[in-house]
Amino acid sequence: MKKISVSLSGHQTSISLEPEFIDALHDLAHIQNKSVASIIEHIDDNRTPDTNLSAAIRVWILKQYRQ
């Protein structure tokens, strides 16, 4: 596991993901011409309250690659 730190709604938070998911997140951010933080904020804003943020990020990445 690897941790990344981002600011969400003005609060610093750390997210633990496997290195492969972090690499994929960075790749998708580059492809979409967005920052990793903006993508994570979008995922956070759209996840259900009972969904863990790390899990929501993994699912978002999977959906991106399936499209």
What is the tally of structural domains in the chain? 1
Per-residue pLDDT band for 9 (boundaries 50, 70, 90) equals: confident
- Under 8 Å CB-to-CB from 60, ≥6 apart: which residues? 39, 43
What confidence score (pLDDT) does residue 13 get?
A: 92
Mean per-residue pLDDT, 45-56:
95
The H-or-E segment that residue 60 falls in is: helix 53-66
pLDDT tens-digit series, residues 22-37: 999 999 999 999 999 9
What confidence score (pLDDT) does residue 51 get?
A: 95
Range of the domain at 55: 2-66
> Token pair of 30, please?
């580059």
> Token pair of 38, please?
């903006």
What confidence score (pLDDT) does residue 8 get?
A: 87
Alpha-carbon Rg for the chain in angstroms = 11
Q: Phi, psi at residue 36, to the nearest 5°?
A: -60, -40
